Amino acid sequence: GGSHAVRKGSVVLTADEMISVPAHPTTVEDTTGAGDLYASGFLFGYTSGKDLETCAKLGGLAAAEVISHLGARPETNLAALAEKELGI
């Protein structure tokens, strides 16, 4: 174990393609909850019928929000943040 922070973003692999999405820029305060929030953002997009690139962007945005402050819960309305930052 040990802690780590993703600085380059994420990669989504399917049988047919590789989608690379850069990390959403933020200042890291606490990485607690980053993976959970990435998964929740990605899965929200996926279950909403978004393409895989958008799913990864949503995951990255949610993770970036939660690591920007102490604690594992978002301090910002993630739907409003996605609309503001990604136009979704």
Q: What pLDDT was estimated at residue 33?
A: 95
Q: Is 44 helix (H, G, I), strand (E, B) or coil?
A: helix
Task: Note whether residue 52 is domain-resident.
Answer: yes
Range of the domain at 62: 28-86
Question: Could you report the per-residue pLDDT of 40-60, keeping only the tens digit for each?
Answer: 999 999 999 999 999 999 999
Task: Note whether residue 8 is domain-resident.
Answer: no
Q: Which helix (H) or strand (E) holds 78?
A: helix 78-86
Task: Note whether residue 5 is domain-resident.
Answer: no
Task: Note whether residue 2 is domain-resident.
Answer: no
Q: What pLDDT was estimated at residue 52?
A: 98
Q: What pLDDT was estimated at residue 8?
A: 86
Q: What percent of the chain has pLDDT over 90?
A: 89
Task: Note whether residue 68 is domain-resident.
Answer: yes
Q: Is the pLDDT of residue 3 over 60?
A: no
Task: Note whether residue 42 is domain-resident.
Answer: yes
Number of domains observed in the structure of the chain: 1
Task: Note whether residue 3 is domain-resident.
Answer: no
Task: Note whether residue 1 is domain-resident.
Answer: no
